[in-house]
Chains A and B, each alone.
Chain A
Amino acid sequence: MKKVTIYTTNTCAYCAMVKKYLDGKGVKYNVVNLDEQPEKQAEVYAKSGALTVPITLVEKEDSTEEVVVGFNLPRLASVVA
């Protein structure tokens, strides 16, 4: 994995679960807080086709991207494995 980005909001409990899961796996990530950066909402939609959080964007070594919408544990596990 090259880079992991989580799109969150201040009150999103599922976002906290994504962070907790990645912390447990020792995966480093960047956080984009949409309450603080609402202009990034269009970016979220462009990457995921969704208007929801959490969105986890995983950029791979081969420059491909994987997007996980929501706290989807099996999918998140396979994407960051």
Chain B
Amino acid sequence: MSANEKVWDVVMIGGGPTSLAAAIYTSREDISTLIVEKGIIGGLAAVTDKVDNYPGFPDGIEGLHLAENLQKQAERFGTTIELDEITTIKKVDKYFELQGAMGSYKSKTILIGTGSQWKKLGVPGEEEFYGRGVHNCATCDGAFYRDKKLVTVGSGNSCAQETLFLTKFASHIDVLIRGDHWKASDVLIKEIESNPKITVHFNTKTDEIIGGEVDGIQKVTKIKATKDGEPFEFDTDGIFVFIGLVPITGYLEGSGVECDEAGFVKTDLKLLTNVPGIFCAGDVRSGATAQIASAVGEGASAALSIREYLESNK
């Protein structure tokens, strides 16, 4: 029977650490489990160069490697993974019907685990040069900037970690931070401070991304910013933006699932949404701490709640 014909006990939307952890628990208890992922198995964790604070790995672990391990473990217990993009969810009789770009799926319960994506700066030039000078994925696109100058924007752990990764390629990196301090961990800040390739600019707001033709290629050449209230320009070959995350919930429109003012999904303490049978965990959940370790923990908790729900709704 194909993934589209079967009625699943649970369909997990999004294939990041939350769903993979939940799937390890559900599949291991013979709860039929389908994960539907539109992008990358492992989510944002998989494109992180090095995960240094996930318990159990004293030397850290590559994000992609961690994601592959989680996937293998879930698949070992029987989890099925489909590559598809869910576009709508609706309740039809006793089941939920999930419509995807490439097929539809039926399930008794749903776990919302779509996580979040990078926020955009919203400045002129960002859309125009996206993918040719403006980037969010250092592990993907860093190699285009061998011996080039870069700008990174952000103040959190992700920005600090990705900036350090980009020093493998770039000759120099200017980090633009809107506030007057880092929000990253002390360990990362110390690494940044001791790296001669990195200059940090506090109180610096990114205003515009300027491009032009260089060697026949239309690309980013300059960042216009405001530093300490004064106009300031940074010559650069590219800009990587890591300024925070927004939840991925577009497919929930019309589903009746309630979100908070910022668009994150509301749940109760059992990770159940306001719609019976639809659970939510991980970065997309209102109140989540956006850490891989907590996403995995929430995934496990959600799995137990799903099991309880399925047993009491037989």
Chain A residues at the B interface, C-beta cutoff of 8 Å? 9-17, 20-21, 24, 34-35, 38, 41-42, 45, 49-54, 69-71, 73-74, 77
- Whether B287 sits at the interface, judged by CB under 8 Å, is no
- Whether B275 sits at the interface, judged by CB under 8 Å, is no
Contact A71 B40 (CB under 8 A): yes
Q: Report the separation of the CA atoms of residues A27 and B72 in the bound assembly, to the nearest whole angstrom.
A: 23
**Known contacts A38-B146, A73-B83, A77-B102; is-contact A15 B141 (Cβ 8 Å):** no
Contacts of A14 in B (CB 8 A): 39-40, 47, 137, 140
Q: Report the separation of the CA atoms of residues A40 and B143 in the bound assembly, to the nearest whole angstrom.
A: 12
Residues of B29-55 at the interface with A, using a CB-CB cut-off of 8 Å, are: 38-42, 46-47, 49
Q: Report the separation of the CA atoms of residues A34 and B137 in the bound assembly, to the nearest whole angstrom.
A: 15
What is the count of residue pairs linking A and B with beta-carbon distances less than 8 angstroms? 87
Contact B101 A73 (CB under 8 A): yes
Contact A52 B131 (CB under 8 A): yes
Chain B residues at the A interface, C-beta cutoff of 8 Å? 38-42, 46-47, 49, 63-64, 67, 83-85, 101-102, 131-133, 135, 137, 139-144, 146, 216-219, 238
Contacts of B40 in A (CB 8 A): 13-14, 16-17, 71
Contacts of A74 in B (CB 8 A): 85, 101-102
Contacts of B137 in A (CB 8 A): 12, 14, 52
9 pairs of residues in contact across A and B, judged by CB atoms under 8 Å? A9-B140, A12-B139, A14-B47, A14-B137, A15-B140, A38-B146, A45-B217, A51-B144, A74-B102
Contact A51 B132 (CB under 8 A): yes
Q: Report the separation of the CA atoms of residues A38 and B217 in the bound assembly, to the nearest whole angstrom.
A: 16
Contacts of A51 in B (CB 8 A): 131-133, 141, 144, 217, 219, 238
Contact B139 A13 (CB under 8 A): yes
- Determine how close the nearest CB of chain B comes to the CB of A78; give it in whole angstroms: 10
- Determine how close the nearest CB of chain A comes to the CB of B237; give it in whole angstroms: 9
Contact A50 B131 (CB under 8 A): yes
